Amino acid sequence: MKVYHNLHDYRPHRPTVVTTGTFDGVHQGHRRIMARLRRAAQERQTESVVITFWPHPRLVLGQPVELLNTIEEKIEHISQEGIDTLIMLPFTEEFARLMPIEYIEKVYVQGVHAGLIVIGYDHHFGYRRQGNIRLLQQVAPRYGFEVEEIPAQEVDDITVSSTKIRKALKEGNVELANQLLGYAYTLSGTVVHGDKIGRTLGFPTANLHIDAAYKLIPAAGIYAAYASGEQFERKAALVYIGTRPTLGKEQSRPSIEVFLLNFTGELYEAPLRVELLKKLRDDQKFDSLESLRHQIQKDYQEAISFFNAL
């Protein structure tokens, strides 16, 4: 997959098949759109093109948002869908002011020479999101492209959306979130030094720092997860997300601590990636470190049972 960071460097040789969206999460609904995009491009013997935006429009417009993917994760997931070209359009305040017709002309017509636009039924674009699929259908004959509408996608009778996935993660329901995503929700970052309380409890943890401040951190609690890093491919793990109330050092942004069930060694300054599988319990405050240690032992045994059952 070729990745471009503007429209000027992209030069299509024939009309393309294109879709556009923020694609936060690159979830099952998004992937079905991309599968249709890929098939249509093969039928027409042309390129499949995905257009997305960075920074996310809400970040530029000053609207609160917690995203399911970092930019690197989004590129990785889209590349797995067999797409020919990904264009990461810089989203600016000037771009946000484009009227819908200007948007169509600059992006679809002049930018990617669209022959077919495959788009979700609820996609909006242009100034104040005034453009929609109906407008695309109305102007299609004028500009010489076709429009194919993709209806809402469902998984087990649940309509898939980034909003529903965010809600599930905020509630700690990673199993539902993973079902709608089609993969395990991931947290990636760098291992940093902590206060090493875990070592004194017999459960040394790797403190994971997430560089992307916009990345959604799921509800506080203890999770069963897989972890992978430079020194190992994939290992079972317990992940703590929370403000560490037992230590009396509660902070605004949660700590993320990873205990590998079968690993010895140092991970400081190394990249680490965790895939959350199931929430085992809520975070809670204990009256002593000894009580906390006993609970972690129970968490460890529950995690062992969980992974043995997989």
Task: Answer yes or no: do 95 and 193 share one domain.
Answer: no
CA angle 16, 19, 20 (to 5 degrees): 130
In angstroms, the CA 277 to CA 86 distance is 29
Domain of residue 86, CATH code: 3.40.50.620
Residue 61 confidence (pLDDT)? 82
Kindly state whether residue 165 falls inside one of the protein's structural domains. no
Domain of residue 205, CATH code: 2.40.30.30
Kindly state whether residue 166 falls inside one of the protein's structural domains. no
Sign of CA dihedral 63, 123, 153, 75: negative
Kindly state whether residue 7 falls inside one of the protein's structural domains. yes
Q: Is it the case that residue 200 has pLDDT exceeding 70? A: no
Task: Answer yes or no: do 136 and 249 share one domain.
Answer: no
Q: Which is nearest to 240 in space by CA: 214, 217, 211? A: 217
Residue 252 confidence (pLDDT)? 66
Are the beta carbons of 200 and 226 closer than 8 angstroms?
A: no
Helix (H, G, I), strand (E, B) or coil at 132: strand
Q: Which is nearest to 237 in space by CA: 152, 300, 298, 181? A: 300
Tokens 């993917």 found at: 69
Task: Answer yes or no: do 153 and 254 share one domain.
Answer: no
- Look up residue 172 and give its two tokens: 């700690």
Domain containing 252 equals: 184-309
Q: Whole-number mean pLDDT of the chain?
A: 92
Q: Whole-prediction pTM value?
A: 0.92
Residue 196 confidence (pLDDT)? 64
178 contact partners, CB below 8 Å, separation of at least 6: 184, 185, 276, 277
Q: Which is nearest to 34 in space by CA: 82, 71, 67? A: 82
- Region 40-64: what's the mean pLDDT? 92
Are the beta carbons of 87 and 98 closer than 8 angstroms?
A: no
Task: Answer yes or no: do 7 and 86 share one domain.
Answer: yes
Task: Answer yes or no: do 149 and 207 share one domain.
Answer: no
Residue 58 confidence (pLDDT)? 85
Q: Alpha helices of 93-244 — where are they, by DSSP H? A: 93-96, 100-103, 133-143, 162-170, 174-181, 197-200
- Region 132-153: what's the mean pLDDT? 94
Q: Which is nearest to 48 in space by CA: 33, 64, 27, 59? A: 33
In 113-260, where do the E strands start and end? 114-120, 124-125, 131-132, 146-150, 154-155, 158-159, 185-192, 206-209, 221-229, 232-242, 255-260
Tokens 């969206």 found at: 21
Task: Answer yes or no: do 16 and 153 share one domain.
Answer: yes
pLDDT tens for each residue of 78-124: 999 999 999 999 999 999 999 999 999 999 999 999 999 999 888 99
Residue 198 confidence (pLDDT)? 64
pLDDT band at 152 (very low <50, low <70, confident <90, very high): confident
pLDDT band at 201 (very low <50, low <70, confident <90, very high): low
Task: Answer yes or no: do 228 and 286 share one domain.
Answer: yes
Residue 293 confidence (pLDDT)? 86
Q: Is it the case that residue 17 has pLDDT exceeding 80? A: yes
Task: Answer yes or no: do 26 and 132 share one domain.
Answer: yes
Q: Say how many domains are in the chain.
A: 2
- Look up residue 84 and give its two tokens: 């020919």
Q: Which is nearest to 174 in space by CA: 51, 57, 278? A: 278
Kindly state whether residue 171 falls inside one of the protein's structural domains. no
Sign of CA dihedral 187, 185, 120, 87: positive
Q: Is it the case that residue 22 has pLDDT exceeding 80? A: yes
pLDDT band at 253 (very low <50, low <70, confident <90, very high): confident
